[in-house]
Amino acid sequence: MEIKKLEPKEKKGLILVITGNGKGKTTSAMGMALRASGHGMKVDIIQFMKGDLYSGEWDGVKRLDGLVELVSTGKGFCGIEGNPYPHSEHRINAQDAVKLVKEKIRSGRAQILILDEINNALKLKLIDLDQVMEILDMKPPHLHMILTGRDAHPDVIQRADTVSEVREIKHAYEKEIEPQPGIDY
Ligand code: ATP
Ligand code: MG
Protein backbone atom coordinates (compact mmCIF):
# COMPACT_ATOMS: atom_id res chain seq x y z
CA MET A 1 0.00 0.00 0.00
CA GLU A 2 1.27 3.45 -0.87
CA ILE A 3 1.53 5.79 2.09
CA LYS A 4 0.45 9.34 1.38
CA LYS A 5 1.82 12.37 3.18
CA LEU A 6 -0.37 15.45 3.21
CA GLU A 7 1.21 18.82 2.61
CA PRO A 8 -0.83 21.92 3.52
CA LYS A 9 -1.10 24.50 0.73
CA GLU A 10 -0.28 27.14 3.27
CA LYS A 11 1.75 26.51 6.42
CA LYS A 12 0.48 28.49 9.38
CA GLY A 13 1.73 28.56 12.96
CA LEU A 14 -1.15 27.89 15.33
CA ILE A 15 -1.88 28.75 18.94
CA LEU A 16 -3.23 25.73 20.83
CA VAL A 17 -4.54 25.58 24.37
CA ILE A 18 -5.01 22.35 26.32
CA THR A 19 -6.83 22.96 29.56
CA GLY A 20 -9.32 21.31 31.92
CA ASN A 21 -9.24 19.34 35.15
CA GLY A 22 -8.63 15.86 33.71
CA LYS A 23 -5.36 14.05 33.10
CA GLY A 24 -3.72 14.42 29.70
CA LYS A 25 -2.77 18.07 29.09
CA THR A 26 1.00 17.86 29.37
CA THR A 27 1.12 14.43 27.77
CA SER A 28 -0.93 15.72 24.84
CA ALA A 29 1.67 18.43 24.28
CA MET A 30 4.45 15.84 24.57
CA GLY A 31 2.58 13.71 22.03
CA MET A 32 2.73 16.59 19.56
CA ALA A 33 6.47 16.93 20.23
CA LEU A 34 6.90 13.22 19.45
CA ARG A 35 4.79 13.56 16.32
CA ALA A 36 6.68 16.66 15.19
CA SER A 37 10.02 14.89 15.66
CA GLY A 38 8.87 12.41 13.02
CA HIS A 39 8.65 15.31 10.60
CA GLY A 40 12.16 16.41 11.58
CA MET A 41 10.70 19.51 13.25
CA LYS A 42 12.42 21.16 16.19
CA VAL A 43 10.51 21.71 19.41
CA ASP A 44 11.32 23.85 22.46
CA ILE A 45 9.52 23.06 25.71
CA ILE A 46 9.53 25.42 28.68
CA GLN A 47 7.91 23.99 31.79
CA PHE A 48 6.58 26.59 34.20
CA MET A 49 6.56 25.64 37.90
CA LYS A 50 7.84 22.10 37.31
CA GLY A 51 11.37 21.26 38.36
CA ASP A 52 11.28 19.77 41.84
CA LEU A 53 9.97 16.33 40.87
CA TYR A 54 11.47 14.14 38.15
CA SER A 55 9.35 13.45 35.10
CA GLY A 56 10.23 11.04 32.28
CA GLU A 57 9.95 13.62 29.50
CA TRP A 58 13.04 15.40 30.82
CA ASP A 59 15.19 12.54 29.54
CA GLY A 60 12.68 11.18 27.03
CA VAL A 61 13.13 14.20 24.75
CA LYS A 62 16.90 13.59 24.65
CA ARG A 63 16.16 10.41 22.72
CA LEU A 64 14.68 12.37 19.86
CA ASP A 65 17.94 13.23 18.06
CA GLY A 66 18.30 16.65 19.70
CA LEU A 67 15.18 17.89 17.96
CA VAL A 68 13.29 18.51 21.20
CA GLU A 69 14.79 20.62 23.98
CA LEU A 70 13.15 20.96 27.38
CA VAL A 71 13.86 23.36 30.25
CA SER A 72 12.10 23.06 33.59
CA THR A 73 12.09 26.38 35.37
CA GLY A 74 10.17 25.99 38.61
CA LYS A 75 10.00 24.61 42.09
CA GLY A 76 6.76 22.64 41.96
CA PHE A 77 3.14 23.61 42.32
CA CYS A 78 2.76 26.86 44.19
CA GLY A 79 0.33 26.76 47.08
CA ILE A 80 -0.24 23.00 47.22
CA GLU A 81 0.29 21.07 50.40
CA GLY A 82 3.90 20.16 51.01
CA ASN A 83 5.41 22.78 48.68
CA PRO A 84 7.72 24.80 50.94
CA TYR A 85 8.48 27.76 48.68
CA PRO A 86 6.72 31.14 49.07
CA HIS A 87 4.71 32.73 46.27
CA SER A 88 7.44 35.37 45.79
CA GLU A 89 10.01 32.69 44.99
CA HIS A 90 7.69 30.90 42.54
CA ARG A 91 7.04 34.28 40.91
CA ILE A 92 10.78 34.93 40.42
CA ASN A 93 11.12 31.53 38.73
CA ALA A 94 8.12 32.15 36.49
CA GLN A 95 9.43 35.59 35.54
CA ASP A 96 12.74 33.97 34.54
CA ALA A 97 10.73 31.47 32.49
CA VAL A 98 9.05 34.33 30.61
CA LYS A 99 12.49 35.76 29.74
CA LEU A 100 13.58 32.34 28.53
CA VAL A 101 10.45 31.96 26.39
CA LYS A 102 11.22 35.29 24.71
CA GLU A 103 14.82 34.20 24.08
CA LYS A 104 13.59 30.95 22.56
CA ILE A 105 11.20 32.81 20.26
CA ARG A 106 13.96 35.24 19.18
CA SER A 107 16.39 32.37 18.56
CA GLY A 108 14.07 30.97 15.90
CA ARG A 109 15.39 27.44 16.55
CA ALA A 110 12.09 25.64 16.86
CA GLN A 111 8.93 25.26 14.83
CA ILE A 112 6.89 24.39 17.92
CA LEU A 113 7.10 26.07 21.33
CA ILE A 114 5.38 24.30 24.22
CA LEU A 115 4.61 26.42 27.29
CA ASP A 116 3.74 23.72 29.78
CA GLU A 117 1.66 24.79 32.82
CA ILE A 118 1.71 28.43 31.72
CA ASN A 119 -2.06 28.63 32.27
CA ASN A 120 -1.58 27.68 35.93
CA ALA A 121 1.28 30.16 36.29
CA LEU A 122 -1.06 32.92 35.09
CA LYS A 123 -3.94 31.75 37.28
CA LEU A 124 -1.64 31.73 40.33
CA LYS A 125 -0.38 35.26 39.47
CA LEU A 126 3.20 34.10 38.98
CA ILE A 127 3.01 35.87 35.62
CA ASP A 128 0.58 38.52 34.33
CA LEU A 129 -1.94 38.40 31.51
CA ASP A 130 -0.02 41.19 29.71
CA GLN A 131 3.05 38.99 29.66
CA VAL A 132 1.19 36.04 28.15
CA MET A 133 -0.37 38.32 25.54
CA GLU A 134 3.05 39.81 24.77
CA ILE A 135 4.41 36.29 24.21
CA LEU A 136 1.49 35.52 21.86
CA ASP A 137 2.08 38.83 20.05
CA MET A 138 5.72 37.85 19.52
CA LYS A 139 4.76 34.63 17.73
CA PRO A 140 6.32 34.52 14.28
CA PRO A 141 3.76 33.45 11.62
CA HIS A 142 5.15 29.93 11.21
CA LEU A 143 5.74 29.07 14.86
CA HIS A 144 3.18 26.86 16.62
CA MET A 145 2.63 27.61 20.31
CA ILE A 146 1.00 25.14 22.72
CA LEU A 147 -0.13 26.39 26.12
CA THR A 148 -1.10 23.82 28.72
CA GLY A 149 -2.53 23.87 32.22
CA ARG A 150 -5.80 24.13 34.08
CA ASP A 151 -7.91 27.28 34.20
CA ALA A 152 -6.83 28.81 30.91
CA HIS A 153 -7.61 32.54 30.88
CA PRO A 154 -10.64 33.49 28.70
CA ASP A 155 -8.53 36.03 26.74
CA VAL A 156 -6.00 33.32 25.93
CA ILE A 157 -8.80 30.96 24.85
CA GLN A 158 -10.23 33.74 22.70
CA ARG A 159 -6.87 34.31 21.04
CA ALA A 160 -6.10 30.62 20.34
CA ASP A 161 -6.91 28.70 17.14
CA THR A 162 -7.47 25.29 18.73
CA VAL A 163 -8.62 24.78 22.31
CA SER A 164 -9.27 21.46 24.01
CA GLU A 165 -10.62 20.87 27.47
CA VAL A 166 -9.64 17.59 29.12
CA ARG A 167 -12.48 16.75 31.47
CA GLU A 168 -11.98 14.37 34.34
CA ILE A 169 -14.32 11.43 34.41
CA LYS A 170 -12.26 9.58 36.97
CA HIS A 171 -8.62 9.44 38.11
CA ALA A 172 -6.75 6.55 39.74
CA TYR A 173 -5.67 9.02 42.42
CA GLU A 174 -9.18 8.85 43.89
CA LYS A 175 -8.65 5.13 44.59
CA GLU A 176 -5.44 6.09 46.38
CA ILE A 177 -3.36 4.51 43.61
CA GLU A 178 0.05 6.16 43.61
CA PRO A 179 1.35 8.03 40.53
CA GLN A 180 2.91 5.55 38.10
CA PRO A 181 6.11 6.12 36.02
CA GLY A 182 5.51 6.57 32.30
CA ILE A 183 1.85 7.34 32.94
CA ASP A 184 1.78 10.09 35.54
CA TYR A 185 5.40 11.33 35.44
P1 ATP B 1 -0.28 14.67 32.52
O2 ATP B 1 1.07 15.30 32.81
O3 ATP B 1 -0.34 13.27 33.07
O4 ATP B 1 -0.70 14.82 31.10
P5 ATP B 1 -1.94 16.91 33.13
O6 ATP B 1 -0.89 17.78 32.52
O7 ATP B 1 -3.25 16.83 32.45
O8 ATP B 1 -1.35 15.47 33.39
P9 ATP B 1 -1.48 18.27 35.63
O10 ATP B 1 -2.50 19.11 36.31
O11 ATP B 1 -0.32 18.94 34.99
O12 ATP B 1 -2.28 17.37 34.59
O13 ATP B 1 -1.00 17.15 36.64
C14 ATP B 1 0.13 16.41 36.48
C15 ATP B 1 0.11 15.17 37.35
O16 ATP B 1 -1.02 15.14 38.19
C17 ATP B 1 0.06 13.85 36.59
O18 ATP B 1 0.74 12.91 37.37
C19 ATP B 1 -1.37 13.49 36.55
O20 ATP B 1 -1.67 12.09 36.50
C21 ATP B 1 -1.86 14.03 37.86
N22 ATP B 1 -3.24 14.47 37.68
C23 ATP B 1 -3.80 15.04 36.62
N24 ATP B 1 -5.11 15.24 36.80
C25 ATP B 1 -5.38 14.80 38.05
C26 ATP B 1 -6.54 14.72 38.87
N27 ATP B 1 -7.71 15.17 38.43
N28 ATP B 1 -6.41 14.19 40.11
C29 ATP B 1 -5.23 13.77 40.56
N30 ATP B 1 -4.10 13.82 39.85
C31 ATP B 1 -4.16 14.31 38.62
MG1 MG C 1 0.35 19.24 33.12
Is pLDDT at 111 greater than 80 in this prediction? yes
Is pLDDT at 85 greater than 90 in this prediction? no
Distances (CA, A) of 10 to 6, 44, 47: 12, 23, 30
Count other C-beta atoms under 10 Å from residue 17's C-beta.
26
Domains assigned to the chain: 15-166 (3.40.50.300)
Cβ pair 45, 61 in contact under 8 A: yes
> Which of 23, 165, 177, 184, when mutated, tests ligand 1's pocket best, judged by the most ligand atoms within 8 Å of its CB?
23
| Rounded percentage of the chain residues whose pLDDT exceeds 90 | 90
Adjacent-strand bridge partners of 162: 16
Closest ligand 1 atom, residue 25 Cα: 7
Count other C-beta atoms under 10 Å from residue 32's C-beta.
17
- Give the Cα separation of 181 and 125 in Å (integer): 30
Ligand 1 center from residue 46 Cα (angstroms)? 17
Ligand 2 center from residue 6 Cα (angstroms)? 30
Is pLDDT at 172 greater than 80 in this prediction? yes
What average pLDDT does the segment 144-166 reach? 98
Closest ligand 1 atom, residue 23 Cα: 7
